[in-house]
Every structure is written in C-alpha cells, then in structure tokens.
Structure 1
Amino acid sequence: MNFEGDVISSLEQLRQFLLLVEKGGLGLQGVVGVGMATSNADGRHFVAVFGEAHKLLLGRWVTDEVFKNGQDMVKHGVKPTH
C-alpha cells in the first residue's frame, strides 16, 4: 500500500487532507473516491484515496477516534471555510 505522512489524529487534519484530495493538491491522477478502511494485516484504520477499479492511490493512517468520528466527513465531503 502507498501510505505517506503522519497519522491523521484529529478531525481538522482529516478535513485538511480531504480538501487537498478534492482540490488536486496531492498530484494524484484519476481519483474516483475516498473511503475509510481497516487493514487486514494489522487492524489499523486508514483513509484511502481510490482510482479506477478501486485501486488504492494513497492511504493515510488515522487514529481510532478519527475513524469513528470522521466517517460522515469522508462519505459526504467537506466544505471549505472562507
């Protein structure tokens, strides 16, 4: 899996990550979706950026709290603040 950066440990960090993905700020090509998932290898949670055919383009580990409380944010997207 392609995991970069530190563990996302707050909802604000998750929000910033999602905004970067939505705006194309990470340089990823062919993004079709974002979701939360759990690693089969060790049970850790992560936010995943998917390309076509559900290919994992990028993942970031998240804390249990972010996984539990950030699912709606991932599912419905975030609105940028002005």
Structure 2
Amino acid sequence: MNNELDVINNLKELERFLLSIENGGLGLKDVAGVGMATNNSDGRPFVAVFDNSQQLILARWVTQDVYDNGKDLVRNGPSRAH
C-alpha cells in the first residue's frame, strides 16, 4: 500500500483485481485468502491478500464505497461471464 494513488475506487475495478489474483496474473505465490479490513492507525479501508500462514502478501486501498458495497464480492468471489 505504498502507492497512495493506487486506490480501487469502484466495484468493477475490485472485480478485476480479484480475478487477476485468482488467475495468477499478479505473480503471487501461496495465496490462501482475500479479505477486507481497515487500517488500525487511520481507519482507511483496504483489500488484503493473505498466504497460507495468514501473512499479508499484498494490499490495496479501497474507497469507502467499495469497502461498504464490495464485501460480498470479496467473500463470494467474482462471478465469471461465460
């Protein structure tokens, strides 16, 4: 989350991010889960990617709207159009 400008600001972008994780497009190894959380120090929401040891391996800031409305998308995974 070092890039303050790299914020997911709509549900379509969140879906693309989740699909890229699922498809291996980000080159992450041992992905075990994805979740939404808020930063303890300032309360900013983010989406987090965890490995098998529950260690954070990637995180992206999200807007409050995406946090409020994207929880089911993160919980259930993106739907795939066939």
Normalising by structure 1, report the TM-score. 0.91
CA deviation vs aligned residue, 1:2-58 (integer Å, no higher than 9, x gap): x26510000000000000000010000000000000110111000000002210000
In structure 2, list runs of 5 or more residues that go unmatched. Answer: none
Paired with 2:72 and 2:63, the residues of 1 have a C-alpha distance of 15
- Is contact 1:4-1:58 (8 Å) kept? no
Question: How many residues of Structure 1 are paired with residues of Structure 2 in the alignment?
Answer: 80
Normalising by structure 2, report the TM-score. 0.91
The Cα RMSD (Å) is: 1.2
Distance 1:30-1:4 versus aligned 2 partners, 3 A rule = farther
Write the letter of the residue equivalent to 1:64: Q
Q: Which runs of 4+ in 1 moved over 4 A?
A: none
Relative to total residues, which structure has the larger helix share, 1 or 2?
Answer: 1
